[in-house]
Amino acid sequence: MTSTTPQPLNRLRKLWREGRPTFGAIATIPSIQTVQIMARSGFDWIVVDLEHGPIDLGSAHAMITATSGTSCIPLARIAANEPWLAKAPMDIGALGINFPMICSREQAEKAVRSVRYPPRGDRLWGPFHAPFRWGVSMPDYMATADDDMICMITIEHVEAVNRIDEIMATPGIDMAVIGPGDLATSIDKRGRADDPEVLALMARAEAGILKSGVPIGGVARTPEQANQMIERGYVGLALGFDWSLFQRGIAASFDGIKR
């Protein structure tokens, strides 16, 4: 009788290592149907938003499960860099956690350890529902769990930009995302992501991440912006929130109609 080595469940890390861009969106609406549509519309990943969206864990579980049967990888964004907030989304099937407001190496190390089991980290055991989402046995889930789980940190504060080199030197970060909204807010320029000072901070963050070799992600509001970011080395591109994609689709449906 021959045994086979379990295959990784998460394809994102391989794509990023190959320098291939991936495209995703952030789901803020607690809706199975919305995620089903998004997961079957070409996205490589969807972030279930437990930071700003009105989504409880029951809804998050249903939304993660709604990606089944597609190649779309479900991730979860949590409200703070706390292991207890990261634990349940992983245990119900998310294959990555997006940690907000990482501003130091110490905070980055805490995030990295939250998504991996001992001895590599501090994740507590209890993935009771994740194996069912992925159609594998508990032993097979555990065999690849550390390598499947994405640690995605967000650089979104001026202090993070000032410490970008020390943050990006942290082993175990799988992707660093630049968050323009909070970055602008951190220097009292709310809603002004295109302000020259904000753009300068984003450029400094971008340079630091690219220099580190860690895959870089960000927000692309237009196809032109996405193409420019890909040329600069971005491999994780969020094309919008569910609500903003709906708004854009509705606006496009009215375009050209005489009212």
What's the CA gap between 165 and 241, in Å, rounded? 29
What's the CA gap between 73 and 256, in Å, rounded? 36
**Which of 7, 8, 4 is closest to 174 using CA atoms?**
8
What's the CA gap between 135 and 221, in Å, rounded? 35
| CA angle (176 as vertex; 118, 131 as ends), nearest 5 | 45
Catalytic residue numbers, as ranges: 52
Give Cα 31 to chain centroid, integer Å.
Answer: 19
Residue whose tokens read 């349940």: 88
Q: Any idea what DSSP says for residue 49?
A: E
- The 3-state DSSP class for residue 48 equals strand
Task: Tell me the longest C-alpha to C-alpha distance in the chain.
Answer: 71
